Structure 1
Amino acid sequence: MIGVREGSPITVDVRLESVSEGVLATGTVGAELIGECARCLGEVRETRDFELQELFYYPGHDGEEDALFVVDNNIDLEQPMRDAIILELPFTPLCRADCLGLCPVCGFNLNEDPGHNHGEQIDPRWAGLQAFRTQDAIPGE
């Protein structure tokens, strides 16, 4: 899971243009994302810019239910900024592109020692057959 921490600073660079239907807001929202890696559970910190483009209609416009409006000559950018960030968050954040993750046997972080292993593992469902395994099991080899 990754997101913007509550109370952390964000940067907003927005251009407002008057158009026939209302006010068009375009720009970027910058924020630091903090979360954990989907593979190794290590911390992920990334500063990223998100694109923002939203049209705020003048009062009296008949449009969609979820349309945003200019109210008392003001526009509220909170919801469009939140939407711009949430829609672009990665589903599986990674600490780095080549993250090796955790050992499925013991949970060791494989990024610390890529050669980590537990030797040959035998599926416990087949372990009872080990007693029948011998060097001379197949004649002629």
Structure 2
Amino acid sequence: MHVDVKELKGHPGAQQTLSTTVEAPAGLGTVLVGIAEGSELHLDLRAESVHEGVLLTGTASAEVTGQCGRCLDPISYPLTVDVMQLYSWEPQEASSPEEDDEETRHVTEGLHIDVEPALRDLMVSALPFQPVCRADCPGLCSQCGFRMEEDPGHAHEQLDPRWAALAGLADQLNESDEDGAAASS
């Protein structure tokens, strides 16, 4: 996704708008949710020539699809992010490692700007770390995978493994008491 900015070079204050729909590139997502590769990505952008380079502002919108992190049901919702990125005309040589800004983007030699890395950073960071189908989703039982929504009272008896030997001893004592009681009758 490249934007041609030849008309803006040397004309501070000049601007151009870009309103288009493109195919989403691969890798716009996390493990559970993301923007499907090839789906529609709507861009409403304005490129403005400034002294330092080109200021790209606007919005990017797409449909997010994936799975709920609790119950694994499919989820889908719209996502819109605000874009504001400065692309410098020429790479600046950093005088020290502290001044080297990894986030500085540059206009290419052919006077194009590549918006994909900026969109990737913005859109992926806007995705939820633990997506849910709804805020009160009860999820699945951690023991058997049963859908908790179908029976909210579903539970398993859990014995502390540290007491398992004592529980086995209690069972043996109960059996010997029952055998003694049956023999005396």
User: TM-score under structure 1 normalisation?
Assistant: 0.79
Structure that is richer in helix per residue: 2
| Alignment-mate amino acid for residue 105 of structure 1 | Q
Query: Once the two structures are aligned, what percentage of the paired residues are identical?
Result: 42
Query: Quick check: 1:40 aligned with 2:40?
Result: no
Distance of 1:101 and 1:115 partners within structure 2: 13
Distance of 1:129 and 1:53 partners within structure 2: 69
Aligned counterpart for 1:92 among listed residues 120, 130, 139: 130
Range with bigger deviation, 2-11 or 64-73 = 64-73
Paired residue secondary structure (2:47): strand
CA RMSD of aligned residues (A): 2.3
- Report what 1:7 is aligned to: 38
* Change beyond 3 A, Cα 1:45–1:110: same
Query: Quick check: 1:57 aligned with 2:98?
Result: no
Over residues 83-107 of structure 1, what are the superposed CA-to-partner deviations in whole Å (9 max), with x where a residue is unaligned? 1111222111111111101112221
Distance of 1:122 and 1:75 partners within structure 2: 59
- Structure 1: gaps (5+ residues): 134-141
| Alignment-mate amino acid for residue 88 of structure 1 | A
User: TM-score under structure 2 normalisation?
Assistant: 0.62
Distance of 1:110 and 1:84 partners within structure 2: 35
- The higher radius of gyration belongs to 2
* Change beyond 3 A, Cα 1:122–1:69: closer
Distance of 1:115 and 1:21 partners within structure 2: 62
Aligned counterpart for 1:103 among listed residues 141, 145, 153: 141
Paired residue secondary structure (1:41): coil
| Alignment-mate amino acid for residue 40 of structure 2 | P
* Change beyond 3 A, Cα 1:110–1:16: same
Range with bigger deviation, 24-33 or 70-79 = 70-79
C-alpha contact (below 8 Å) 2:91/2:106 kept by paired residues: no
* Change beyond 3 A, Cα 1:108–1:130: farther
Please list, as runs of the form range in 1=range in 2, the aligned pairs for 1:114-133 lying within 5 A after superposition: 114-118=152-156, 121-123=157-159, 125=161, 126=163, 127-128=167-168, 131=171
Distance of 1:108 and 1:129 partners within structure 2: 32
Note the C-alpha offset of 1:16.
Answer: 1.6
Note the C-alpha offset of 1:115.
Answer: 3.2
